[in-house]
Structure 1
Amino acid sequence: MQIKKRISLGLSFVMLLSLLAACSSDKTPTGNATPSASPNASPSEASQAQDVKLTFFNTSAEVNTVFEQLFKTYHELNPNVTIELIPTPIGGAQLEKFQSLLASGNPATIANLDPGTILQFKDKFLDLDSEKSKYEQLTKPGAVDGALLDGKFLGIPWTAQGYGLLYNKRVVEESIGGTFDPASIKTRSDLAEVLAKVEAAGKAPVMIHGADWSLGAHYLALAYSLQSNSVEENRKFVENLKNGSVSLMDNPQFAGLMDTFDLLKKYNIRKKDPLVADYNKDSADFAKGETAFYFMGDWTWAVVGPLEGRDQEFGVLPVPISDNPDDFGNTQVAYSEPKLFAIDNSGSTPAQQEAAKAFVEWMVTSEQGQEAIVSQMGLALPYKDVKVKGTNVISDAVNQYTDQGKVINIGVINYLPQDYWAKTGASMQKYLVDKTDREGLAKEVEGYWKSYAGK
């Protein structure tokens, strides 16, 4: 599986959105339906009274075959429902294909898309408000809120990803000479004390991956999400950056985040050549105990899991931004749902829409569906009753935070320009190699946002 598909938290919401133009909404149902429902029939009656064909557009192309097997299983259980995969390549061309289906009036009934794509085409998708309370009961705290787009429930969450300071339990415990309790790290000073102990034990304390997506989308973008636990309030903060009414240098969240970054820089194992940014090597070195901590997400299990000779126990810490344990962010990990299932409302019949709802619910709640998602796809489900145990121990660690509601909803990123991570990530790279100071970084980042004033 390609790296960029497994770092979808950082990249899925920035993929070539500029290629997608608005499409006409006056299309009538076409070959996607078989046959049309009676105009007097309710959606549920229609789906029960006839055979229904659904099409499924999948942007997680690397697991196409897993989805196809799920479609066969579902058809065996529900012979009146046939689901056909619309195959897509890995990369930007899949979004062009999605646009062409909309333009032709033959859209996919179900689409597995990045939240940002759903937001851009929100008028094309079914408002799932009638399903919202059900999924609030089925999912973990914050999952549905994290999936809302402009306040609407347009996509059903089915994957969850989190990130923060990953830790190699063996290395940390050998360094401190005892059992490590991640809950003991509630402040920056707590973290500094552990990093100093690791260094004193002759081990490398931390790894900073120097890629722009990691620095810009994952680290710096925390500043936008840490303003509040409300996505709408965080969007207002970004708008204030655009109009120049806030100063990053005066913002406590930005200041605290960068104070912690300075701490991580001090102990960075890659400090001699921090911009090499070899994702596979960084992940493997962490997994084999070359460093105690690693700023990264649970998606790195795609590299870590199959490694021979790796350590066995890993976990995740929040990134503390102050010395007040009660400050938002000090005990919460960053969390998002990088992909959502959306149902078409521009060319699908009521019968298809009802059948699509039923299939998606089966996929995320049944043992067969969960086995496919958790075991075969290697993903984490943001649901309370997951019947299948996965192998990703880092995701398990993230789940402990989500189960307690200790998460930072980073949904504001769904509303950001497609180049924010690359442009501000480049500024962070300059800061990482001491080519600019804190004030210079703040000016560059503010300059980027002011370039979007009025947009």
Structure 2
Amino acid sequence: MKKQLGISLSLACLLMLMGCSASPTSLKTTRITLLNSKTEIKTQLEEVAKQYNQEHPGVTLEIISAPEGTSGYQKLMSMYGSGSPATMSMLDSGDTQQFLDKAVDLSKEKWVAETIDNGLDAVKKNETVLGFPFAVEGYGLIYNKKVLDKAVGGSFDASSVKSRSSLNLLMTKIKKTGVEPVMLSTMDWSLGSHLLTVSYSVQPGGFSKFVKGMQNNSIDMSKNDAMSGWVQTLDLLKDNNINKNSPMENTYDGAKALGEGKVGLWFMGNWAWGEIKSNDTANGEYGFLPLPLNNNSDDPVNSKITVGVTKYIIIDSKTTTPKQQEEAKRFLNWLVFEKPGQEFLVNKANTIPAFKNISLEPVDPLGKSIKAYISEGKTLPFITTLPPDHWAITGASIQSYISGKIDSAELLRQIRIYWKAQR
């Protein structure tokens, strides 16, 4: 009996010792979370989190993805409402403005000195850096070169499209081959945040002056050349859309239609490369064409695509511990300075990094096309300081126009009403 009791006590002590030895290890593990608002890289982010956790056993990085159709802004607002925001949150550039007062100061981080020119403008407050530039992205008309080669009867030259009339001619040639010219996706974020804002980026005096002019009634939308030209270009896309008979049904998926050669052009950004690649049936070549807004071939805006920092990551300062903030900073530095982090940004997330020290060339053709436009100085500013509801409201107005429910005058009136309400 005593022997049995001794064994039991020994076993109990052993278990206690094991528990005691395990406790310090568990206490050393720091949990950090990242809210992801780029749904197209959900899988890639989850994979890189696993990799990061293996390389850094003292930390557990978890990815929280905003639901499809929900903005990062909406998701983070609900998280703050429940008192449990993410450690790090990836947000659209304009949305970061709403959370800068809750963000950790990143001014002393090593990567700040490596950031591209103007890459931190949207996340600076009194010269304090409050956000990490996650991705430089661009958009325009993505083309399938094999379709266009056939249409022009030779090797298609992207520089040949530098006016609305030359784009119209190209679409006519595409149609003669039995292929639909273009896919116009009608998601409100694509129409409101991307398609419409091309017209904002070319306004005389800049975007801010244009908005003030709409608010104080000093701009007549019907006589604004950029807006009028934009509507005419929208009409060209609408009339040549593969889904023109039922535009809101989106019978064809854009990436599938372009990759399979059912259309020659798709208005979208480089973030769609993963989807295009998975639908590319002929190992094709792809690149960007600008969206011309007038018929003047000498107007430089007709030869430019939209490029800019579209996503920033902020670190929460209100509910996180100093250790969590330290680990979050460590992760951001890993993305910029460690090879696996750079590989993730360039080759897995298919982004163009906002950092000069990253020399990796994009593997995907859309990234290469954007870099070429950047090196040639042929870029328009990506309007990122939009109110959080801009794409939903203006996108809905454009949807109504594409569907034939309103005319162009009413479309422009609704856009103006939106901006007047922002005063």
Aligning the two structures, in what range does the TM-score lie when normalised by the shorter sequence?
A: 0.7 to 0.9
**2:80 equivalent among 76, 79, 99:** 99
- Please say if residues 195 and 267 of structure 1, whose CA atoms lie closer than 8 Å, have aligned partners that are also in contact: yes
Q: Which runs of 5+ in 1 are unaligned?
A: 1-33, 35-50, 77-81
Whether 1:415 and 2:393 are equivalent positions in the alignment is no
Partners of 2:257 and 2:396 in 1: CA distance: 24
Instruction: Determine if contact 1:155/1:340 at 8 Å carries over to the other structure.
Output: yes
Residue deviations 1:302-333, cap 9 Å, x none? Answer: 32222262452111111111233554632221
Give 2:240's match in structure 1, choosing from 255, 263, 267.
Answer: 267
Amino acid at match of 1:251: N
**Aligned residue identity for 2:131:** G
* Distance in 2 (alpha carbons) for counterparts of 1:202 and 1:112: 42
In structure 1, the residue corresponding to 2:293 is in which secondary structure? coil
CA contact (8 A) 1:115 1:340 kept: yes
Distance change (3 Å), C-alpha of 1:119 and 1:187: same
> Which of 401, 411, 414 does residue 441 from structure 1 map onto?
411
Distance change in 2, residues 1:144/1:453 (3 Å): closer
| Alignment map for 1:127-146 (pairs within 5 Å) | 127-130=105-108, 135=112, 137-139=114-116, 141-145=117-121
Of 342, 345, 348 in structure 2, the residue corresponding to residue 370 of structure 1 is: 342
Q: 1:184 to 1:388 in 2, by over 3 A?
A: same
Q: Distance in 2 between matches of 1:323 and 1:148?
A: 38
The residue type equivalent to 2:281 in the other structure is G
* Distance (Å, rounded) in 2 between the aligned partners of 1:149 and 1:286: 42
**CA 1:112–1:264: 2 relative to 1, 3 Å:** closer
- Write the distance in 2 (CA, Å) between the matches of 1:309 and 1:382: 32
Mark the CA change 1:89 to 1:264 in structure 2 (over 3 Å): closer, same or farther. Answer: closer
Structure 1 match to 2:130: 154
Q: Which has the larger radius of gyration?
A: 2
Cα distance between partner residues in 2 of 1:255 and 1:121: 35
Q: Using the TM superposition, give the Cα deviation of residue 298 of structure 1 relative to its aligned residue in structure 2, in angstroms.
A: 1.7
- Amino acid paired to 2:419: W
Shift of 1:142: 4.7
- The verdict on how the C-alpha distance between 1:262 and 1:130 changes in structure 2, with shifts beyond 3 A counting, is same
Counterparts of 1:415 and 1:392, CA distance in 2: 29
Give the aligned residue type for 1:191.
Answer: L
Inter-partner Cα distance in structure 2 for 1:307 and 1:235:
40
Residue 92 of structure 2 is matched in structure 1 by: 114
Match of 2:174 among 192, 198, 223: 198
Distance, in Å, in 1 between the alignment partners of 2:59 and 2:208 is 38
- 1:58 maps to 35
Q: Residue by residue, what CA displacement relative to the aligned partner does 1:31-57 show, whole Å, maximum 9, x if unpaired?
A: xxx9xxxxxxxxxxxxxxxx9957343
Q: TM-score, normalised by structure 2?
A: 0.78
CA RMSD of aligned residues (A): 3.4
Residue in 2 that maps onto 1:382: 354
Q: How far apart, in 1, do the equivalents of 2:91 and 2:341 lie? A: 18
Indicate whether 1:424 and 2:404 are aligned: no
Aligned length: 387
Query: Residue 142 of structure 2: SS of its match in structure 1?
Result: strand
Identify which range, 318-327 or 349-358, moves more after superposition: 349-358
Asked if residue 67 in structure 1 is aligned to residue 45 in structure 2, the reply is: no
Cα deviation 1:147-201 (Å, max 9, x = unaligned): 6579763211122322111111001111111112212222223222322322334
Deviation by residue 1:413-449 (Cα, 9 ceiling, x = unmatched):
x33241x223222222232233333222212222233
Q: 1:386 to 1:257 in 2, by over 3 A?
A: same
Q: CA deviation at 1:377?
A: 3.7
TM-score by length of 1: 0.73
2:88 touches 2:328 (CA, 8 Å); kept in 1? yes
Aligned match of 2:258: 286
Cα distance in 2 between the residues matched to 1:301 and 1:59:
18
In structure 2, the CA distance between the partners of 1:131 and 1:409, relative to structure 1 (3 Å rule), is: farther
- Mapped partners of 2:49, 2:212: distance in 1: 39
Letter aligned with residue 406 of structure 1: K
Q: Pick one of 282, 297, 310 that aligns with 1:338.
A: 310
The separation in 1 between residues aligned to 2:122 and 2:298, in whole angstroms, is 22
Equivalent residue letter for 1:123: D
Structure 2 unmatched runs, 5+: 1-23
